[in-house]
Structure 1
Amino acid sequence: MTAPTQLAMLLADARLPTGGHAYSAGMEPALTSGMPRADARDLLRARARTTSQVEAGTAVLARHRVLVGAPLQAVQDAWAARTPSPAVRDASTAHARGYLRLARRLWPAADYAALPEKPCRAVVLGMIAAAAGLPAEDLVRLVIYDEAATAAAALLKLDPRDPAETTAWILDACAAAEPTVAQIAAVTDPAAVPASGAPHSEQWAQTHARLTQRLFRA
């Protein structure tokens, strides 16, 4: 097993302390806003073809700009323009702090001063990929998988069911995104970051942020 493969497995492992324990990848906001539980599988697949591709493209662009020594603020700006919900942006920033703690421990020589003031999770993942030698296509698959696995793990807490069932859903979501992997992996310009929106998810996140009783931040 190669080092980049091991890294991808580590970052995608929900047991990692910086993982999605406080983040449901939109699953809790969707359910609390009235989405039928029977639609959970469709939500994973839809996000893999929309918002997760924005995250993946942002991470790939950040990786590229780190490798060529270019500023990262334009990457952050491109992501923010494609992520209109303040609640989603805040959750991503909080999630990024956990990844940064891991990155500083494992790759202390990386240029963290190049990061924007409050980087999103995708920008930090891109920096980690550059520091660790993770190929762009592996990075895209990592982001798509992580989003789907996080949502599925959240669902098991919110609506317990057979984990084998949700594992099949994760694989289905990843397969749905596979035709776009090469295109996203080739992103080197902020304008080329996918801009597939999910207005319902954005609105659900805003509503969810105002709740006083919830398991997940977003």
Structure 2
Amino acid sequence: MKKVSEPVEDMTVILSIHDVIPTLEDDIIKTYDRLTDLGISSFTLLVTPFYQMKKTNSFTKGSLFNEFLLSLGVEISLHGYSHFTKSGSMAEFSDITTARALIRLRDGVSLFKKGFNQKPIGFIPPLWEGPPRVVKAAKQIGFEYCTLGSHIFRLSDSKVFSTATPIISQGGRSVKIESAMLEMELGGALQIGIHPKDYSMNNLFELLADLRDNQGYHFTSYSGYLTGAKR
């Protein structure tokens, strides 16, 4: 997978809400409302279909929460299967074999389709971490794209796009942005992953407002950017 990458267009934030699960329904609705207040309408919902392998975190077709997510008209993609390894690590795909990756991806797609009656568009592993073989597995399953760290792989033509190191919040009291600070100062492309708890825990939404109002960034989803990017 060692291909030359093309930088994502400057002044672009590829935005997502990750860890989208039923038990965080209220937080996800509030997160959506905050984004609406900021005038941000293009982003990716990253769904984990069987979070922690708990039935309460599975998606039920026709549920009010599922219908709400579908009604937003935004991209919905796959974010792992359970999000956790057997040892308890959140980086479910970080040290996975190809065979195991294919099983987890197929199972994840199956649960996703049962809940939403459609296939997920792309795949981003938990914490954005995984070996290159995950990209090959994602292509074999039929995803439109796969993202690992700062690299976004468009699988239809094997083109690779790059951003600064992703800013991935875990819903804690602070958000680590140091690794992307230089890129922000230069107006370079960013990936930002919102956790559903951020609106009440930290200043990530203040960062989004600053990027929009003071620095001139625009926001888009993964598939939205890749669809418009040249081939």
TM-score bracket for the superposition, by shorter chain length: 0.3 to 0.5
Q: Which has the higher strand share?
A: 2
TM-score (norm 1): 0.36
| Greater RCO structure (CA 8 Å; 6+ sep) | 1
TM-score (norm 2): 0.34
